[in-house]
Amino acid sequence: MIEVVGNIDAEQRNIGVNKRNNGLHQQWDIIYVDEWKGDPVKGELNKEYGLIVEKDFHIISQLKENRYLDLINNRNMVIKTPNGRSTQIWYFHQ
């Protein structure tokens, strides 16, 4: 299998050959040049991920109280009651 050496995602990282281990560094997409339509832009659906590019959304727990995913202290992820703060708003960045 061809792979990114050392499993490190960095510009100009070497490519090598190794036995198959199913790591992401051995997985590739093939896109035919005449079929490439470019990445979706803001407001368009990214079909691969099923999300609309740069459209705000909330992530809601399926536990009984349906609390929102929230970010506190810019580093801790928690669930909290909806409060209208921007720390509970998420978006998909292409």
Q: Is the model more confident about 84 or about 12?
A: 84
Residue 66 pLDDT grade (very low, low, confident, very high; cuts 50, 70, 90): very high
Each residue's pLDDT tens digit, 31-52: 777 888 888 999 999 988 899 9
List C-alpha distances in Å: 16 to 7, 10, 31: 11, 14, 21
Each residue's pLDDT tens digit, 13-35: 889 999 999 999 999 887 777 88
Give me the pLDDT at residue 30, please. Answer: 75
pTM of the full predicted structure?
0.63
- Report the pLDDT averaged over residues 53-58: 96
Check whether 53 has a pLDDT greater than 90: yes
* Residue 85: alpha-carbon gap to chain centroid: 23
